[in-house]
């Protein structure tokens, strides 16, 4: 009896959501929140063991490297075979590292773009095959405040995240008359493994202590604290709902204030 009441109130009951980079950090919080609302969730990442550690009756893990087009196409087909047509696509996989442009090698640039931008392009294109058939979908990319303003010392990351905002906005125009919406969320510093790695990187580059490097990131958020992964996930869940269908082509800041 309790189960059937829960089913009726689950706002994403039976929908297939794919969360790219869903085994850790922000992606994992999103995957868990969507699954709690009844979605069948596929999470991806490069490491199958990382994914296996967080799977459940509603979350399956399929390993893939978003930089590899053939791999993405094959694994998304596999996800559709298992969980049905994709209706919610969250391209979240990303890497972040600051580097002065004059020290940036082509290899570093290509790897950042391949992960943060090419990966989203492949994933969205393949997921749209499903959404166009059902004429309903939600694509929510995970950009950054660096997608809205220049991030000092991180030109490559900034360019990749601006690219993501542009891709999302353009697609919202292309699909304006359909049931598919495209939005992007732009978090400030969120408490995840990626930010913890950044503490080391900032401290190495600037000579700051690790404590001061963390303080620097915290003070960049307008509310002077790290954002929690659940705060980002809650915004994504809201955008996935039926009643959010008029929110389209938006870049939503989650940084405790205006950037
Ligand atoms: P995270 O825990 O390191 O998440 C990144 C995810 O991307 C991991 O699950 C990682 O899995 C996956 N990934 C990386 N390279 C990949 C590749 N080549 N192929 C497939 N998957 C790959 O860090 P996070 O903070 O949650 O970051 C998630 C997203 O939020 C990123 O796009 C990041 O730019 C963005 N963001 C984060 C913050 C922040 O402060 N944390 C702020 C703004 C925006 P594997 O390593 O196992 O492949």
Q: What digits encode the pLDDT tens for the residues 97-144? A: 999 999 999 999 999 999 999 999 999 999 999 999 999 999 999 999
147 CB under 6 A from ligand 1?
A: no
50 CB under 6 A from ligand 1?
A: yes
pLDDT tens digit string along 204-215? 888 899 999 999
In terms of residues, how long is the chain? 259
Helix, strand, coil content of the chain in percent (nearest 5): 50, 15, 30
Protein residue whose Cα sits closest to atom 43 of ligand 1: 144
Q: How far is the CA of 5 from the centre of ligand 1 (A)?
A: 35
Mark 178-190 as b/e (b = at least 16 C-beta within 10 Å).
eebbbbbbbbbbb
Token pair for residue 35?
């699954």
What is the reported pTM? 0.96
pLDDT, averaged across the chain: 95
**pLDDT band at 6, cuts 50/70/90?**
low
Residue given tokens 């919080």 in the structure block: 29
Share of the chain above pLDDT 70, in %: 97
The answer to whether the CB of 69 falls within 8 A of the CB of 45 is no
- The atom number, within ligand 1, closest to the CA of 229 reads 26
The 8-class DSSP code of residue 225 comes to S
> Is the per-residue pLDDT at 8 higher than 70?
no
Separation between Cα atoms, residue 97 and residue 199, nearest integer Å: 10
144 CB under 6 A from ligand 1?
A: yes
Protein residue whose Cα sits closest to atom 44 of ligand 1: 144
**pLDDT band at 200, cuts 50/70/90?**
confident
93 CB under 6 A from ligand 1?
A: yes
pLDDT value at residue 1: 45
Instruction: List the beta bridge partners of residue 42.
Output: 18, 60
pLDDT value at residue 184: 98
pLDDT value at residue 2: 52
pLDDT tens digit string along 50-94? 999 999 999 999 999 999 999 999 999 999 999 999 999 999 999
Q: How far is the CA of 197 from the centre of ligand 1 (A)?
A: 11
The 8-class DSSP code of residue 88 comes to E
Reference 35, options 179, 248, 240; nearest CA is 240
pLDDT value at residue 5: 54
9 burial level (CB within 10 Å; 0-12, 13-18, 19+) = exposed
> Is the per-residue pLDDT at 194 higher than 90?
no
Residue given tokens 């404590």 in the structure block: 211
Contacts of 104 (CB under 8 A, 6+ apart): 155, 156
Which of 194, 223, 235 to mutate for ligand 1's pocket (most ligand atoms within 8 Å of CB)? 194
């Amino acid at each position: 009896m309790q189960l059937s009441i829960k089913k009726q109130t689950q706002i994403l009951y039976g929908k297939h959501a794919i969360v790219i980079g869903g085994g850790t950090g922000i992606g994992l919080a999103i995957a868990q929140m969507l699954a709690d609302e009844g979605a069948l969730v596929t999470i991806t990442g490069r490491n199958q063991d990382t994914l296996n550690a967080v799977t459940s009756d509603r979350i399956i893990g399929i390993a893939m490297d978003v930089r590899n087009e053939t791999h993405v196409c094959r694994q998304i087909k596999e996800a559709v075979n298992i969980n049905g047509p994709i209706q919610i696509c969250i391209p979240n996989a990303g890497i972040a590292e600051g580097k002065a442009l004059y020290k940036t090698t082509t290899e570093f640039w290509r790897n950042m773009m391949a992960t943060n931008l090419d990966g989203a392009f492949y994933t969205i294109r393949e997921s749209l095959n499903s959404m166009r058939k059902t004429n309903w979908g939600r694509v929510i990319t995970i950009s950054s405040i660096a997608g809205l303003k220049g991030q000092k010392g991180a030109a490559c990351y900034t360019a990749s995240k601006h690219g993501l905002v542009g891709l999302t906005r353009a697609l919202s125009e292309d699909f304006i008359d359909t049931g598919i919406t495209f939005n992007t969320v732009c978090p400030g510093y969120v408490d995840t493994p990626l930010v913890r790695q950044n503490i080391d990187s900032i401290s190495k580059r600037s000579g700051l202590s690790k404590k001061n490097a963390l303080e620097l990131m915290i003070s960049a958020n307008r509310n002077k604290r790290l954002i929690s992964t659940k705060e980002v996930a809650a915004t994504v869940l809201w955008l996935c709902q039926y009643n959010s269908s008029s929110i389209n082509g938006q870049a939503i800041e989650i940084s405790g204030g205006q950037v």
